[in-house]
Amino acid sequence: MPEHEIRHPMDCDIDTYWRCVFDEEYNRRLYKDVLRFRELKVLSQEEKGDKKTRKLYLNPPPADLPGPIAKIIGDLSWHEEGSFDTKTKRYRFKVIPASLPDKTTIEGEIWCEPRGDKKCERIAKTNVEVKVFMVGGIVEKRIIEDMRKSYEAAAKFTGEFVREKGW
């Protein structure tokens, strides 16, 4: 599948956005309360020089998938491996799904561009590819649709969280 781009205006500056991304309370509330994930575990998070790396385990809410596709896909949880460059302020990530990891590629890069005082635009470029005969394209479209919805909800929540914290 071709690369996809998802853009959202953010009600905060670039540094504040990244402060949120690595904030424990923000992540807990975003994934549990807003996105309704069953589980979020930070498996590791460390900072060395200009890099922040982290590994997450995420288990989303049950998906409404057609029976045959749900049977093929099975477990919808995944591991995310990400690396944030503190100089360029870019986050590169790779998702390893619990089901069909050898047939699925989900990776991307997220960064922000300034859009005025205490405003920025978050840009996510992603590559999603599922190599499963007959249903791969359907699953790819669903993953991209779910990403768009969750990124939209996260953009809204980020503004609310920043205002609440006075950041």
Give tens-digit pLDDT for 81-125. 999 999 999 999 999 999 999 999 999 999 999 999 999 999 999
Task: Give CA separation, 13 vs 10, 106, 111, 150, in Å.
Answer: 8, 27, 12, 20
pLDDT at 49 over 70: yes
The SS3 assignment for 142 reads helix
Give tens-digit pLDDT for 149-162. 999 999 999 999 99
To the question of pTM greater than 0.85 for the whole model, the response is yes
Angle between helices 136-165 and 14-21 (to 10 degrees): 110
Cβ proximity of 147 and 26 under 8 Å: no
Q: Which domains does the chain carry?
A: 4-165 (3.30.530.20)
Task: Give CA separation, 83 vs 40, 70, 130, 149, in Å.
Answer: 18, 31, 23, 23
Cβ proximity of 161 and 128 under 8 Å: no
Backbone angles phi, psi at 108, to 5 degrees: -175, -175
